[in-house]
Amino acid sequence: MQIPMPLKNKLAKALDINSIRLDFPILSQKVNDLPLVYLDNAATTQKPIKVINRITEYLSFQNSTVRRGAYSLSEKSTALFNEARQKVAKFINAKQNSEIVFTKGCTEAINLIANSYGGSVFKPNDEIIITAMEHHANIVPWQLICEKTQAKLKIAPINELGELNLIELEKLINPKTRFLSLCHISNVLGTINPLKKIIDLAHKHKIPVLIDGSQAAPHELIDVQDLDCDFYAFSGHKVYATTGIGVLYGKLKHLEQMPPYQAGGDMIEKVSFEKTTYAAPPSKFEAGTPPIMEVIALGEALDYITNLGLENIKAYEHSLLKYAENQLAKLVPEVTIIGQATEKASLISFVIDSIHPHDIGTILDQEFGVAVRVGHHCAQPLMNILKVPATARASFAFYNTKEEIDILIKGLKRVIEIFKY
Amino acid sequence: MSKLSQLYQQVILDHSRKPRNFGELKPCTHSCEGYNPLCGDQITVYLNLDENNIVEEIKFDGIGCTISQASASMMTQILKGKTKEEAEKIFQEFQQMLVSDLDINNQQNSLGKLTIFSGVKEYPSRVKCATLAWHTMNSALQSKNKVSTEI
């Protein structure tokens, strides 16, 4: 099946979705005797056979520790580990490999910055800005560090379309502002934030910026040098690799200044009971034996999506988004789409009049094999702003098809039929 | 009856569409706010117990899915006129039906109409929807004023 690309992007090449689907073993299984329609990609993505095989190969023939074994197996493992770091650096166009710190996920990456950078820089009455569309992972670490340092957390508001209000954001900035942390793409609204503009604005006031890229890494071409962000974080399992691995990019000048986050083996230069000196970044932030298998699998996953081409992925997913939006529009007034930003990634949050998302989820799963996320998406403050207790969310990956969206729509019609009164 | 129609029986749909005893009860002798942080459901249960510890009046309000609204609605119906001890016993049995091994067909119980919720057991992610109102009611009786399904 060849999918025609939107004219807007002439560079994008059509992806062969049928053959891509064969790369993902999980997609050919049935749930509740129905073919699985997996539309919860913003929560986690499925794994291509290449990644699965890479893990099997590593565990079967290459497993050993890194950085310390004076034997061939460990040297091989260390080389593979370093090679994966290089792949990550290339994937986001970091200037050097040492700017890539491995964490256990995007959440830990944000906690690392809040604790290490924030903990050493923030002073009482300093101000930290986040936005109204953040995931709990980009709210709570800042609340904790603000409590510890007595800094204050400020929230940049969004407009009725679900876009960041840049005028209000600028008004929040003042000489006490020390840090800005925001998402690249909202996990609830799908809004793609105009990062370059925002980062430029922050830098004019000498404010460092962290980008929570967990929703962007699988969909957007990321260039940290072009963005000029100070930090960028994302999770492995959302880019077709496994859980247990995350990436923190940091400009070397910051990583060098920052104190360690956790202590242990691997992060030291020299230890005595009187004094310990720390290793250079990234090792300084990677105490303990790292998740070697996960790192190597991440490298393999990034190879896989790089081969498909992020531009091609984006163009195809955009066509899925537009198709889904058009189909959902036919279910108005019952269905309301939450988040109508002009620049939007391939996810749709919606609510159906008087029907709770939990009930939507159960019917879609049981009668249609469709997996969607229901709930508050770890963004309760945003739910309060939107005045909904919860939403249902369908999020698409390049292996999804228009036929699957048709099944979703059919399912929603059935939901309305069952519960509408 | 399919697993799904077992879950969404007509009685349950009816109670969720037209919840009985819905609204605030003030003043009241006992009340508690219950919260399910996983799905954002929120419910408040209000009770008036008389001097003999009998549930004279019981109401609830809040937001939630079909299962949680219907469960709250049917709970208020069955508990009216019961003693505090009886209410606690029914709560225990309701919970046992959904999370442990109470065999409603062969073991004696006071659940009556509430056995309609036994199908929820097949959906582990929905059990908390059905028990939220009950936990909240029980906490109200214990004079707590807030409860969460995740603690």
**Backbone angles phi and psi of A264, in degrees to 5:** 160, -155
Put simply, whether B144 touches A (Cβ < 8 Å) is no
Verify whether the Cβ–Cβ distance B7 to A421 is below 8 Å: no
Query: Which is more confident, A117 or A421?
Result: A117
Out of B4, B42, B129, the one facing A358 most closely (by C-beta) is B129
Interface membership of A376 toward B (CB under 8 Å)? yes
Domain of B79, in residue numbers: 3-142
Name the nearest CA neighbour of A341 among A137, A183, A186, A131.
A186
> Which run of H or E residues covers position B57?
strand B55-63
pLDDT by position in tens, chain B (length 151): 677 888 899 999 999 999 999 999 999 999 999 998 777 789 999 999 999 999 999 999 999 999 999 999 999 999 999 999 999 999 999 999 998 878 888 888 889 999 999 999 989 889 999 999 999 999 999 987 777 776 5
Residue B26 contacts A where some CB pair is shorter than 8 Å? no
Sign of the four-CA dihedral B43, B79, B73, A374? positive
Look at residue B106 and tell me if it is in a domain: yes
In B, which residues are within 8 Å of A374 by CB distance? 39
| pLDDT interval class at A55 (50, 70, 90) | very high
Specify the DSSP class assigned to residue A355.
B
Least confident of A97-111, A223-237, A245-259, B110-124: B110-124
Select from A362, A366, A390 the Cβ nearest to the Cβ of B40: A390
Which of A19, A42, A30, A301 has its CA nearest to residue A189?
A42
Q: What is the chain B residue with the closest CA to A389?
A: B40
A-B contacts (CB, under 8 Å):
48
DSSP A173: -
Helix (H, G, I), strand (E, B) or coil at A227: helix
Amino acid sitting at position A44: T
Q: How far apart are CA A282 and CA A258, in angstroms?
A: 11
Contact B38 A375 (CB under 8 A): yes
Q: Do B64 and A356 touch (CB under 8 A)?
A: yes
Domain assignment of residue B73, yes or no: yes
Residue A7 pLDDT greater than 50, yes or no: no
Higher local confidence (pLDDT), A315 or A375: A315
Q: How far apart are CA B11 and CA B6, in angstroms?
A: 11
Domain assignment of residue B148, yes or no: no
Across the interface, whether the CB atoms of B41 and A389 are under 8 A apart is answered yes
Q: How many helices (H) and strands (E) does chain B have?
A: 5, 4
Query: How far apart are alpha carbons A218 and A410 in whole angstroms?
Result: 28
| Mutation choice for B interface testing from A34, A356, A363, A385 by most B CBs within 10 A | A356
Quote the ipTM score.
0.84
- The answer to whether position B149 is within a domain reads no
A106 is catalytic: no
pLDDT score for B40: 75
Please name the member of A367, A376, A380 whose beta carbon is closest to the beta carbon of B4: A367
Question: Is B65 near chain A, with CB under 8 Å?
Answer: yes
**Whole-angstrom Cα distance, residue A325 to residue A311?**
21
Rounded Cα distance between B78 and B133, Å, is 13
Low-confidence winner among A273-282, A322-331, A334-343 (lowest mean pLDDT): A273-282
Taken in order of first residue, the domains within chain A and their CATH numbers are 17-46+309-419 (3.90.1150.10), 52-306 (3.40.640.10)
In the structure encoding, which two tokens stand for residue A223, read together?
């260039």
Exactly one of A146, A183, A229, A378 is catalytic; name it. Answer: A378
Question: Using DSSP, how many helices (H) and how many strands (E) does chain A show?
Answer: 15, 17
Neighbours of B40 (CB within 10 A): 24
pLDDT above 70: residue A249? yes
CATH of the domain at B67: 3.90.1010.10
In whole angstroms, give the CA distance from residue B7 to residue B25: 30
Chain B hits for A357, Cβ within 8 Å: 39, 65
Domain total of chain B: 1
Taking only the tens place, the pLDDT of each residue in A165-188 is 999 999 999 999 999 999 999 999
Distance CA(A344)–CA(A181), nearest Å, equals: 20
> What is d(CA A408, CA A411) in angstroms, rounded to the nearest whole number?
5
Cβ burial, residue A249 (10 Å; 0-12/13-18/19+): buried
**Residue range A127-141: mean pLDDT, rounded:** 97
Contacts of B40 in chain A (CB under 8 A): 375-376, 380, 383, 389-390
